Amino acid sequence: MSRTRPDPDKLRLIAAVARLGSLSKAALHERASQPYISKVIAQFEQEFGARLFQRTGRGMLLTEFGRGVVPRIDAWLSEGDAMMDQFSAMAGTPAGDVRLAMLPSLSSPLMGALVSTLREGHPGIRLHLAEGYADQLEAWLQNGEADLALTLRFDGVPHRHGLHLVDTDVYLCARAGDPVTAAPTVAFAALERLPLILHRKAGVLHRHLQQLAEAKGLTLDVQLEVSSLGIQRDLAAAGSGYLLLNHSAVAQDVASGRLQASRVVQPELVQHIDLHFSPRGPVSGATRVVAQLIQQLVRAP
């Protein structure tokens, strides 16, 4: 019996549902409608007379047939992507999609420079950007939702799967005229009982702060968890609390006089910024180009 020729776009949708475990997440990630993805799955199942997924309250779970099929789909798609990357490299023009994820505090002003550089020098590379927390970035790398991720750590121990880019100091940021941040530097002990605004309790920064505070016998007061960097800056400018960020995250606000920033010392808070590649599949030529540009931009004087 003749079979229909495999359609990589449709197989990519099936792989996305398997990877993300959800029709809605796959639809958002692949920019396709849920009804269309359901239709693609139904057509595949009808073609081979077996179910790919079990629809449960926990999402879309692979059947035994699906667990045998999806790894082969992934391998076929990866081989096809690698082949196209090789063709692009042979032609001297890297092209394709690159998905870059990062923490919100690392996105500005790097992304503007990166996008401009890609448009001018590599118009065939399509960059997709996403912001998330440290654990989200790790999950996206592992499941292939991100090709690259910019992450930070405070422990000073290089990650064996990461490329160290640069170290940056952490600043205590507040509204203009705030007395605590009036001097160029502020001692870590001054953070005690200040109303702090962080991205997330139990995140990378909060864990590091707690360790330092406990060692010094200090009490920290995280009053607000705010995932949006823009809202964080608005709250700080309104006098609603204090931020702990690298200087580039608030540079424009400081320059305009909306916020002021004081470098934390005794001890210094140093962020180690790394670039990570997804372990899923080969690294494309376009991804390598983006990684090289990020290194150049971050390390530029």
Residues in the chain where the model's pLDDT stays below 70: 1-4, 85, 88-92, 107-109, 156-161, 202, 301
**What residues are paired with 246 via a beta bridge?**
170
Alpha helices in the chain (DSSP H): 8-20, 23-30, 34-48, 64-90, 110-121, 134-143, 204-216, 229-237, 251-256, 285-299
Look at residue 2 and tell me if it is in a domain.
no
pLDDT, residue 160, reads 61
pLDDT, residue 91, reads 66
**What residues are paired with 102 via a beta bridge?**
131, 150
Contacts of 274 (CB under 8 A, 6+ apart): 150, 151, 152, 153, 158, 159, 162, 163, 164, 165
Look at residue 1 and tell me if it is in a domain.
no
Report strand pairing: 270-277 vs 185-187.
Answer: unpaired
pLDDT, residue 95, reads 80
Looking at residue 115, which CATH number applies to its domain? 3.40.190.10
Q: Report whether 44 contacts 36 (CB < 8 A).
A: no
pLDDT, residue 3, reads 63
Look at residue 43 and tell me if it is in a domain.
yes
Give the SS3 label for residue 69: helix
Look at residue 75 and tell me if it is in a domain.
yes
Asked whether residue 104 falls in the same domain as residue 133, the answer is yes
Q: Report whether 289 contacts 94 (CB < 8 A).
A: yes
Look at residue 221 and tell me if it is in a domain.
yes
pLDDT, residue 157, reads 63
Whose tokens are 């180009």? That residue is 289
Look at residue 3 and tell me if it is in a domain.
no
**Residue span of the structural domain in which 61 resides:** 8-88
Number of domains the chain is built from:
3
pLDDT, residue 153, reads 84
pLDDT in tens, 33-46: 999 999 999 999 99
